[in-house]
Amino acid sequence: MTSVLTSGTVSTDTGNASPAAISAVGLAKSYGDKVVLDGIDLRIPEGTVFALLGPNGAGKTTTVQILSTLIPADAGAAQVAGYDLATAPDGVRGAVGVTGQFAAVDNLLTAEENLLLMADLQHLPRREGRRRAAQLLDRFDLTEVARKPAVTFSGGMRRKLDLAMTLVGEPRVIFLDEPTTGLDPRSRRTMWELIRDLVERDRVTVFLTTQYLDEADQLADRIALLDHGKLIAEGTAEELKRLIPGGHLRLRFADASQLDAAAALFTASAREDEALALRIPGEASIAALRTVLDTLDGAAVRAESLTVHTPDLDDVFLTLTGRQERA
Ligand SMILES: Nc1ncnc2c1ncn2[C@@H]1O[C@H](COP(=O)(O)OP(=O)(O)OP(=O)(O)O)[C@@H](O)[C@H]1O
Ligand SMILES: [Mg+2]
């Protein structure tokens, strides 16, 4: 795999080994004179998870709406699950499932009734609908609350039910618009497991949007950063992290004299006087680590602790968007 940098856009050649579940060229959308999407290209191989990452208002939901035929694009072309968005929108609709940013769950219905309603909308035979509903309730650990109205559900349960409803029609491509926003850490983990399971067990393709860098890091095979209507970077989490410096070793010392001695040894380092710590920029490799420790040993300087900081996706995002104020 190679990363190429062209006019501010990072793309990575995935080859053409696996067929694309979603491909798009030049997708554009404006509302009045506000440009929301300014020419987006995508290629998402079948059976993979793709994360579209961006801040509020970046155009994530708009992209999902276009690719799932809910709204038309102003320009560009896309194929989803083998169907062309413009010429075969019904084909697309039959092959995709969308879990929207705001839950589609009907509060007055029970979990089971919500699922059966979806089965009816998909024209599944009654018995098949019941079978699917029971299966999904079990898979999503909702059997116990199957007969309770959704209005009594927590946010996490509602999200799970929403995803279960999306799966009733056995879609090949699933769009998840911010699947874990507002969930507590434990519910987020549960959702992540369910999403991973979908890809591993059912071989579906997942297109998810998120504002959480750790979510993209956890789930996605490939990640694209959307900012001001353009994809400003694309690649695996590792590739994106490699794009930016920011790795460093952080040493802590018992007293100021040891800190002074160490600071004199590493001229490019940054002091944190209050914490009695020193940050030494550089890659987080064994070799770099050994050099630092050898240098300290050679000068008989003793560090109390050492931590290795590898840049995370937050660093990537902040660097590439230049939005330091977000931090
Ligand atoms: N129907 C509409 N009419 C006018 N403007 C719209 C419409 N839908 C979206 N927009 C604008 O398009 C931009 C992108 O909106 P979108 O919902 O795609 O962002 P998003 O990335 O999903 O944000 P969030 O993280 O808040 O969900 C926003 O500035 C929004 O105000
Ligand atoms: Mg949105």
- Nearest alpha carbon, ligand 1 atom 13: 57
In this structure, the answer to whether residues 20 and 111 fall within a common structural domain is: yes
CB atoms within 10 A of CB 17: 6
Total of domains in the chain: 2
More confident residue, 320 or 231: 231
Interval 303-325 mean pLDDT: 73
d(CA 12, CA 233): 9
Q: What was the pLDDT predicted at 37? A: 97
Distance 290 CA to ligand 1 centre (A): 49
d(CA 179, CA 137): 18
For 210-254, what is each residue's pLDDT tens digit?
988 889 989 999 999 998 899 999 999 888 877 776 677 889 999
Distance 60 CA to ligand 1 centre (A): 8
In this structure, the answer to whether residues 96 and 220 fall within a common structural domain is: yes
In this structure, the answer to whether residues 218 and 280 fall within a common structural domain is: no
pTM of the complete model:
0.78
> Rounded to a whole number, what is the largest CA-CA distance in the chain?
79
Ligand 1, CB cutoff 6 Å, lining residues: 31, 36, 54, 56-62, 101, 211
Handedness of CA 149, 151, 157, 161 (dihedral sign): positive
In this structure, the answer to whether residues 238 and 102 fall within a common structural domain is: yes
In this structure, the answer to whether residues 238 and 264 fall within a common structural domain is: no
Residues present in the chain in total: 327
Distance 301 CA to ligand 2 centre (A): 52
Residues with Cβ within 8 Å of residue 35, at least 6 apart in sequence: 28, 29, 229
More confident residue, 60 or 310: 60
d(CA 169, CA 171): 6
In this structure, the answer to whether residues 18 and 137 fall within a common structural domain is: yes
Domain boundary residue among 197, 221, 242?
A: 242
* Boundaries of domain holding 65: 3-242
In this structure, the answer to whether residues 13 and 156 fall within a common structural domain is: yes
In this structure, the answer to whether residues 152 and 285 fall within a common structural domain is: no
Average pLDDT, the chain: 87
For 260-286, what is each residue's pLDDT tens digit?
999 999 988 889 999 999 988 877 678
- Nearest alpha carbon, ligand 1 atom 7: 31
For 139-155, what is each residue's pLDDT tens digit?
999 999 999 999 999 88
In this structure, the answer to whether residues 92 and 198 fall within a common structural domain is: yes
118 and 109 Cβ atoms separated by less than 8 Å: no
Strands 49-53 and 205-210: parallel
d(CA 290, CA 271): 20
For 177-204, what is each residue's pLDDT tens digit?
999 988 888 889 999 999 999 999 989 9
In this structure, the answer to whether residues 192 and 263 fall within a common structural domain is: no
Residue among 62, 64, 231 to mutate when testing ligand 1 (max atoms within 8 A of CB): 62
Distance 102 CA to ligand 2 centre (A): 9
pLDDT category at 66 given cuts 50, 70, 90 is: very high
